[in-house]
């Protein structure tokens, strides 16, 4: 089973940040958010990725081409063109296929354009800018249980504003960006059967949420896996700062065990 990561959008709401890099390369801690997304899947044993590229595709290609150099200590012998990598950063057992699917291609067409790299009947697709503490194993189990073409993960988005809890005019508690209590949105983390691809085309205007999902919903072919845990995405600069603060404070809810591993590594354990 492979994981498609949609990483081709412009990310215009991030302003000057995405003038230099595509949104999936925005850093949370020392690593780009696409790495964090991949870590979620890798934790559950899914390490075969297809990255659908578009805007500034060369930046993502260069990053993974030089992944070991960027993320490890090494010794280089210039005359012999020999490099010895000394550390072993997470991700070295991943398989990553990077496909340029066009600059202005919409999400449905991006998936269709990488279909030739899919071998199994069931595969997954997600966005390159959203993280969650979703149990991927349970998500796949749910998808296999209902026999429909597509499963999307329904999440409760965080509020764009802090929530004030007061009593008799006195502030009791302030929560920054709490999860909203009503309404679900598609948080990514989708699972699909091969038959889903028949509803897509390689035409750049083939979208996902608009058109394709609407048609499949009318046919009863989409099921929703309700994720009651945490979910966040990088939509603007405040989101970037928020996720970086969580990472720095060891509250990165989306990657079980990763920060503990990094502590052991950096302390020489």
Partners of 173 in the β-ladder? 165
Is 171 contained in some domain? no
User: 77: domain CATH number?
Assistant: 3.90.550.10
Per DSSP, the three-state class of 160 is: coil
How many C-beta neighbours within 10 Å does residue 111 have? 27
Give the range of the structural domain holding residue 78, as residue numbers without chain letter. Answer: 3-155+185-266
Is 129 contained in some domain? yes
Tens of pLDDT, residues 205-249: 999 999 999 999 999 999 999 999 999 999 999 999 999 999 999
d(C-alpha 139, C-alpha 227), whole Å: 9
Tens of pLDDT, residues 63-108: 999 998 888 888 989 988 888 888 766 667 899 999 999 999 999 9
Phi, psi of 43 (to 5 degrees): -60, -30
Phi, psi of 15 (to 5 degrees): 60, -130
| Terminal CA-CA length for the chain | 34
Is 167 contained in some domain? no
Mean pLDDT of 43-67: 96
d(C-alpha 114, C-alpha 166), whole Å: 51
Q: How far is CA 23 from the centre of its chain?
A: 11
Contact status, residue 176 vs residue 251, Cβ threshold 8 Å: no
Is 180 contained in some domain? no
Tens of pLDDT, residues 117-175: 999 999 999 999 999 999 999 999 999 999 999 999 999 888 766 665 667 766 666 66
* pLDDT value of residue 70: 87
Greater confidence (131 vs 259) lies with 131
Per DSSP, the three-state class of 251 is: coil
Is 219 contained in some domain? yes
Is 256 contained in some domain? yes
Altogether, the residues listed in the chain come to a count of: 269
The residue whose two tokens read 């990561």 is 5
* pLDDT value of residue 161: 60
Phi, psi of 246 (to 5 degrees): -60, -45
Output the CA–CA distances (angstroms, integers) from residue 205 to 52, 102, 105, 171, 213, in the order listed. 16, 11, 7, 49, 14
263 is written with which tokens? 């502590």
Is 172 contained in some domain? no
d(C-alpha 95, C-alpha 65), whole Å: 12
d(C-alpha 227, C-alpha 224), whole Å: 9
How many C-beta neighbours within 10 Å does residue 100 have? 16
Is 162 contained in some domain? no
d(C-alpha 224, C-alpha 186), whole Å: 9
C-alpha torsion angle, residues 146, 148, 153, 156 (rounded to 10): -80
Q: In the predicted model, what is the mean pLDDT of the chain?
A: 89
d(C-alpha 45, C-alpha 154), whole Å: 22
Report the domain count for the chain.
1
């Amino acid at each position: 089973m492979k994981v498609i990561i949609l990483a081709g959008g412009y990310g215009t709401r991030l302003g000057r940040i995405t003038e230099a890099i595509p949104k999936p390369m925005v850093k949370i801690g020392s690593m780009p958010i696409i790495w964090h997304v991949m870590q979620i899947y890798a934790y559950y044993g899914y390490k075969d990725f297809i990255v659908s590229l578009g805007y500034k595709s060369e930046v993502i290609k260069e990053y993974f081409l030089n992944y070991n150099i960027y993320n490890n200590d090494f010794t280089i012998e210039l005359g012999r063109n020999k490099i010895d990598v000394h550390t072993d950063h997470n991700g070295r057992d991943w398989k990553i296929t990077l496909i340029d699917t066009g600059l202005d291609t919409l999400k449905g067409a991006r998936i269709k354009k990488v279909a030739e790299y899919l071998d199994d009947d069931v595969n997954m697709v997600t966005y390159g800018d959203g993280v969650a503490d979703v149990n991927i194993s349970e998500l796949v189990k749910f998808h296999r249980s209902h026999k429909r073409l597509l499963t999307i993960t329904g999440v409760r988005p965080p509020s764009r504003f802090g929530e004030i809890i007061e009593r008799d005019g006195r502030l009791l508690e302030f929560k920054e960006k709490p999860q909203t209590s009503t309404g679900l949105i598609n948080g990514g983390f989708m699972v699909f059967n091969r038959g889903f691809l028949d509803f897509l085309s390689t035409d750049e205007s083939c979208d996902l949420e608009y058109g394709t999902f609407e048609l499949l919903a009318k046919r009863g072919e989409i099921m929703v896996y309700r994720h009651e845990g945490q979910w966040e995405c990088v939509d603007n600069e405040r989101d970037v700062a928020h996720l970086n603060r969580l990472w720095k404070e060891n509250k990165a809810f989306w990657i079980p065990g990763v920060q503990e591993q990094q502590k052991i590594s950096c302390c020489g354990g």
